[in-house]
Amino acid sequence: MINEEKKGNTFHWDYITIGFFYLAAIIFLYQTFNLQQMESRIFPYIVLSLAIILNTVLLVKSIKTSPDKREQYSFEGGNRALYITAALLIYVIAIGFIGFYIATPVYLYLTMFMLGQRKQKVLIPVALITTLFVYVVFDLVLSMPIPGGMLF
Amino acid sequence: MEILEYLLMVLTPTNLMWLTIGSLVGAFLGALPGMNADTGIAMFLPLTFNMDPLTGLLTLCAIYTSASYGGNITGVLLNTPGTPEAMYMAWDGYPMTVRGEGAKAIGVTTIAAFFAGVVGALALLFLSPFIARFALKFGPMEMFLTTMLGLTIVIGLSKGSMLKGCLSACLGLLCAMIGTDDFIGVSRFDFGLKELYDGLPLLPTVLGLFAVSQLLIMVAEKKGTVVCKNNAMAGSPFLSLVEMGKLAWVTVRSSIIGTIVGIIPAASTSVAVGISYGISKREDKDPDSFGNGNPKGLATASAAHSAITGGSLVPLLTLAIPGNATAALFLGGLTIHGLAPGTKLFTTDGHIVYPMMIGLVLAQFFILFIGLFGAKYFCKVTKVPTNVLIPIVGCLSVLGAYVFRYQSFDMILVLVCGLIGYYMICTGIPPAPFVLAFVLGARAETSWRRMATLTGGSESFLHMMLKPVPLILLALNLLFLISPFWKDIKGLFGKRAQEVQ
């Protein structure tokens, strides 16, 4: 996922990473300040101090590195990854309403279709067999509760 | 007699069934490009939750072993390694396939992997109790430094992005502190969410970071299918005694090297294969044939690679230092079943861990069977379209996250961790230090606080520090942190010395 350099590109994903780590450090620091017991704060303080120092070193290093010498990262195809994540999120929400055994074959069918599978003799059997496989293995063999929904 | 007893505990119908399933699933995942042992163990961890601890651990052992091997099949036959490490097998294996010796290549890699796997598993079985007894003498200072050693090794070995490796580890340590403080019962960093009172759950986190992130990468890269040629497995994979005799010495030596390297925490397959391959090539009458279809080259790489599996579990079971990211997931498996690495594992829980180690030896026989009789079928797994595989992996990941605590929150968490894992991989932030720090974080803090309680002042701290074992551990910590930059440091001093002259 790491591309060859793109000349003249001043934006770099490392700045986003650095920003994320600073934000995480600030949030955790704020939470640490609010802890009543001192002994509970020490280890978080040590780790957070280390994280902030390292993050600052990364920031300085990123600024000092010229754009043409930076490692370039590629998120090519990232939109497809986001679509799949969205599909999974909708699937999780749907489980909460209609239950696993109805949401799953629908999710499988639609996601395979979205990814380019068009053969009905693959779409329908895979959706049904996978659901059946989960029922047999998780429910019958391992006796694990499967998520149910409000309606089913 | 005890070994016989433990063997009988493994040879129950249930355990044998799950060993078989684990081996087949592991080989399937290992053969598929984009999938590996990490994904397999992460996905199977939830399944093992409701199993008997021994059965669960045997299943994970089978997956670990066969997934490591599964990549060899596609690497040798298709030059498309299922796992990154399997590329070493493709060096000599694929040229053998091209000249019509695909079946023989499979025979060589299978037998070498089987032998080396047995050596690694036996090393685990016989060395671990001794190391665990030694670890019994460890106090809080030693435990803290040992835990830190696990982290510094992994960070130090991610040299190209060592800063990012350190940051990844810091994030892992912070995430490990989420939840209730074990010492005083105070809730920390839970952001008001009751689902986080007991901490960030291990299983959904690793499932997201390894399985979901991997499927997002497969989607983004639009990986297709690779077709196995019909004549790739022409001939027989069974080697004659003469052929096995020619490969015996390189296999034995590489097995020993791989086992020793595997025991060193975070030492990678590249190190084991590099050392073994270099020695074998140097000693061979025809060194130029290495890399061009020499069976000895294939046997060397296969043996060194497979022996690491057993070796990497030695520091894990004895010192709680995972040998690699896969072993870190294995630690998660132990934790789920209420087992903690260390001496107790070999005493109170010996009735689980000794059969498990014997099971690891048995798992090698499954590799032998899969390789010699099933390779031509596993080769065809690459025909499974990714647009079918990805939704199924997604479904199983979501379900796997749910069955850990039966909370819908975990199904969302696995997706969030998947996105974070995807971002980390795309931007060069290694996820391995995060996982290790997350797994070791609680232990690190506990031993730090015990140490702080016991010392209470600089004199007693020095008294605890100035002993052979803590000093050695401290030196190792510094060594692994500095070693990636040793050449740069030497160069700097060399330059300064020249300037002074």
B178 CB-near residues (< 8 Å, 6+ apart):
B188, B189, B190, B196, B199, B200
Contact B395 A143 (CB under 8 A): no
Q: Which residue of A has its CA nearest to B407?
A: A147
Confidence class for position B233, pLDDT limits 50, 70, 90: low
Residue B65 near residue B26 (C-beta atoms within 8 A): yes
pLDDT value for B462: 64
Residue B142 maps to a domain? yes
Confidence class for position A2, pLDDT limits 50, 70, 90: very low
Give the domain extent around B276.
2-494
Chain B nearest-CA distance from A85, in A, is: 7
Residue B226, pLDDT > 70, answer: no
Out of B186, B388, B398, closest to residue A91 by CB: B398
Chain A CB contacts of B390 under 8 Å are 84, 111, 115
Instruction: With H, G, I as helix, E, B as strand and everything else as coil, classify residue B180.
Output: strand
pLDDT value for A108: 96
Residue B227, pLDDT > 60, answer: no
Q: How far apart are CA B131 and CA B154, in angstroms?
A: 21
Among A57-61, B33-37, B110-114, B374-378, top mean pLDDT goes to B110-114
Give bridge partners of residue A2 from the DSSP assignment. Answer: A73
CB count in 10 Å sphere of residue B241: 7
pLDDT value for A6: 46
Residue A107, pLDDT > 90, answer: yes
Contact B408 A147 (CB under 8 A): yes
* pTM exceeds 0.90: no
For the segment B249-289, what is each residue's pLDDT rounded down to a tens digit? 999 999 998 888 888 765 667 778 878 888 888 888 888 88
Residue B73 maps to a domain? yes
Structure tokens at A24: 């995480």
For the segment B68-82, what is each residue's pLDDT rounded down to a tens digit? 888 888 788 877 666
Residue B462 maps to a domain? yes
Give residue for tokens 């500095």: B482
pLDDT value for A7: 46
Confidence class for position A5, pLDDT limits 50, 70, 90: very low
Number of separate domains in chain B: 1
pLDDT value for A136: 87
Residue B447 maps to a domain? yes
Q: How far is CA B93 from CA A85, B71, B193, B245, in A?
A: 38, 12, 53, 19
A82 CB-near residues (< 8 Å, 6+ apart):
none
B451 CB-near residues (< 8 Å, 6+ apart):
B139, B140, B141, B144, B461, B464
- For chain B, give the percent of residues with pLDDT over 70: 85
Arithmetic mean of pLDDT, A88-106: 93
pLDDT value for A147: 85
Among B58-62, B321-325, B335-339, B454-458, top mean pLDDT goes to B58-62
pLDDT value for B35: 67
Contact A85 B419 (CB under 8 A): yes
For the segment A11-70, what is each residue's pLDDT rounded down to a tens digit? 778 889 999 999 999 999 999 988 888 888 888 998 999 899 989 988 998 888 877 777
Residue B7 near residue B358 (C-beta atoms within 8 A): yes
Please give the mean pLDDT across all residues of chain A.
85
Q: How far apart are CA B151 and CA B263, in angstroms?
A: 15
Residue B222 maps to a domain? yes
Chain B nearest-CA distance from A92, in A, is: 7
Arithmetic mean of pLDDT, B234-239: 76
For the segment B113-136, what is each residue's pLDDT rounded down to a tens digit? 999 999 999 998 888 888 877 776
Residue B501 maps to a domain? no
Arithmetic mean of pLDDT, B481-488: 64
Q: Which residue of A has its CA nearest to B167?
A: A51
Residue B195, pLDDT > 50, answer: yes
